[in-house]
Structure 1
Amino acid sequence: MDFSLAAANLISPPVLFFALGLAAALARSDLSVPEAVAKALSLYLMLAIGFKGGAAASEHGLGLDLVLVIGAAAALSFVIPFIAFALLRLTTKLGRIDAAAIAAHYGSISIVTFIAATTALESAGVPFPGIMVAAAAAMEVPAIATALLLARSGAKSGETVQGETPWREVLLNGSVVLLVGAFVIGIATGEKGFASISPFIVDPFKGVLCLFLLDMGLVAGRELRQIRKRLTPALLGFGLYMPPLGGSIGAATGWAIGLEPGGVALLATLAASASYIAVPAAMRLALPEAKPSLYLTLSLAITFPFNLTVGIPLYIKLGGWLAGG
């Protein structure tokens, strides 16, 4: 790993604000971010990254590379949960439903981890294609389909599933709609549209990201406090080794479809990340028997900090090594 890049990421303001929130929650501070403010910050980040990606894609031009990126991303999202599920069943005592729900989170993506990776790439001077935003959007839903297949196949073993498949809710999930919608608007308006709102989506971006990650640190710390006694070494290990495994698969896929180093790093980051927004909402509807304390703690309190501090520099280095950067 490039330790200078890792050190720079560790002492970057977004990561340090996440650490502040985590420490405050573990210390039982009354520091909090109002829920309405946190939601507004999330909406801003998705709008900004989607629009910037669309504007960049418009300048880049849409063609076969976009089709390849979307297809590869969707395939990763569908396949990775099978791997995660098999590892969970092999190494832990989790039932099929809990294992399937957790696996869905690791096939889908954390858009904030993706945003943090783009920020790290920009700081390191590594270019990346705007069409990678389309990859992020393509990875939201297929993992949920895989998880439902895995969970419902457990009926033969006596594990029943009470929930209904929430396809409409999944496809119209706010994060998916805003990310895809902003990407399309960015394509439609292009460079002129980007220039007209750049004071809103460029200069304030890192500051908003810091405040959002402060809130994520607070949430992660509260989750850890509640479940630390149930977090077995096997589950903790999964939350730490699954990101590099998924990231390696994503990086190899990015290299295979001809992405440049920045694109490979971002596809690796997406494959390594774990959802804590869209998939938890879907699991509450589709698999209500699954324990939110397990899948939220793993994705938000274990994998998210790992990726933010150690994973992103690793995926950037891996992208450079594979794609010759």
Structure 2
Amino acid sequence: MDLQLLIDNLTNPALLFFFLGLFAVKVKSDLEIPETSSKFISLYLLFSIGFKGGQELSHSALDLEILWALLFGVALALVVPVYAFFVLRKKMSVQNSGAIAAAYGSVSAVTFVTAVSFLELQQIEFGGHMVAVMASMEAPSIIIGVLLMSWFGDQKRKGSDCLPFIKHALTNGSVMLILGSLLIGFLASDAQAQGIEPFTTDIFKGFLAVFLLDMGITSGRKLSSFMNHGWFALLFAVIVPVINGLIVAMISGLITESIGDRLLFSILAASASYIAVPAAMKLAAPEANPSLYIPMALAITFPFNITIGMPLYLSIIQLF
């Protein structure tokens, strides 16, 4: 791995604000971001990245490469939770295994947004269609997780009982916003997009920094309770994302030659959902322990990916 690339990433102001949040919790500071403000910033980030992705997509030729990219993303969202489930079953219950598998098969929009910022910092281009790829990977993994719990649980659900959870996965707020913003950005003309550019582009990095500060505070608070679950969960939260990211970094060259797109594929495969999946699992698997699968995704996998993961995957992509 390029040491300078790692240093540049670790000194990124947005990432340093994440560490500030962790430090604030460690020293028991009363620093916090109001919940309503945090939710607004989350919505803003999804809106901004979706709209800009739609604009990029409108300037791209809809070809086979884009279609293959979408199919590849969905395939990852279907395969990862299956193998993750059987690894987790060696140590955990069916419910916990299904919830964690769904989280790691799904994606983190915030990790994706941070990776986009990382690519812009490195002046590496990427395709606007990758936003659509990210959005398409959210629901399939949730569906697979629910089906795995149904098939291997003690009380097997009928197929029709899974329908409410499948509907929830498809109509989840983050999925709706990212897809809706993508479509609106695609339909908007260049002149119309330029009219709101100060909002969609100019203030993006500032909002990202504040959001990562909030993520640092949240991660710091959840980390202590997570450590009570032992080493298996900790190792899984690091090793499985690395395996996913490294494999995809290498094989994504079969889908596209774009370095930026390949890095985004890698980070999507390596990331884990801590927003959409917990919301769905609250309905689908109330027996699953949220103090296990949320800290795994948020307090371990997320900081690993945005500090070491992105430079590591980029180095592998450039090597191959």
Instruction: With the length of structure 2 as denominator, give the TM-score of the two structures.
Output: 0.95
Contact 2:142/2:166 (<8 A) preserved? no
> How far apart are the structure 2 equivalents of 1:293 and 1:305?
17
After TM superposition, give the deviation of residue 153 of structure 1 in Å.
Answer: 1.5
Q: Tell me which residue corresponds to 1:30.
A: 30
Q: How far apart, CA to CA, are the structure 1 residues paired with 2:85 and 2:198?
A: 44
Superposition map of 1:72-151 within 5 A? 72-90=72-90, 93-151=91-149
CA distance in structure 2 between the partners assigned to 1:26 and 1:283 by the alignment: 29
Which residue of 2 is the match for residue 314 of structure 1?
A: 312
How much does 1:190 deviate? 4.2
Secondary structure at the aligned position of 1:32 is classed as: coil
One-letter amino acid of the counterpart of residue 65, structure 1: E
The corresponding residue for 2:211 is: 212
- Per-residue CA deviation, residues 90-138 of structure 1 (Å, 9 max, x unaligned), is 3xx2111101110111110011111111111111111111111011001
Q: Tell me the SS of whatever aligns to 1:30.
A: coil
Question: How many angstroms apart in 1 are the aligned matches of 2:77 and 2:209?
Answer: 28
Q: Distance in 2 between matches of 1:318 and 1:138?
A: 25
User: How many Å apart are 1:161 and its aligned residue?
Assistant: 6.6
- The number of aligned residues is 317
* Residues 250, 316 of structure 2: 8 Å contact kept: no
The CA deviation at 1:193 is 3.0
Return the alpha-carbon distance in structure 1 between the equivalents of residues 167 and 149 of structure 2: 19
Distance across 2 between alignment mates of 1:247 and 1:191: 35
Q: Distance in 1 between matches of 2:290 and 2:188?
A: 40
Decide whether the 8 Å contact of 2:108 with 2:271 is kept in 1: yes
Say whether residues 1:169 and 2:168 are aligned partners: yes
RMSD (Å) for aligned C-alpha atoms: 1.6
String of CA shifts for 1:26-47, please: whole Å, max 9, x gaps. Answer: 3322111111000000010001
1:159: how far off?
5.6
2:193 equivalent in structure 1: 194
Shift of 1:57: 1.0
C-alpha distance in 1, partners of 2:64/2:189? 19
Q: 1:288 aligns with which of 250, 268, 286?
A: 286
2:141 is matched by which residue type in structure 1? A
CA contact (8 A) 1:72 1:253 kept: no
Please name the residue that 1:44 is paired with: 44
- CA distance in 2 between counterparts of 1:285 and 1:193 reads 40
- What amino acid is the match of 2:183? V
One-letter amino acid of the counterpart of residue 86, structure 1: F
Aligned to 2:319, what secondary structure does the other structure show? helix
Equivalent position amino acid for 2:282 in 1: R
Match of residue 18 from structure 2: 18
Q: State the alpha-carbon separation in 2 of the partners of residues 79 and 37 from structure 1.
A: 36
Residue segments in structure 2 that go unaligned for 5+ positions in a row: none
TM-score (norm 1): 0.93
Which residue does the alignment assign to 1:264?
Answer: 262
CA deviation after TM superposition for structure 1 residue 152, in Å: 1.0
Q: Share of identical aligned residues, percent? A: 44
Query: 1:145 Cα shift?
Result: 1.2
Partner of 2:58: 58
Distance 1:182 1:8 in 2: 31
Q: Is this contact kept in 2: 1:280–1:296, CA < 8 A?
A: yes
How far residue 160 of structure 1 moved from its aligned partner, in angstroms, is 6.0
Distance 1:283 1:210 in 2: 29
User: Which ranges of structure 1 fall in alignment gaps of 5 or more residues?
Assistant: none
Aligned CA distance change for structure 1 residues 263 and 288 (closer, same or farther; 3 Å): same
SS of the residue corresponding to residue 228 of structure 1 reads: helix
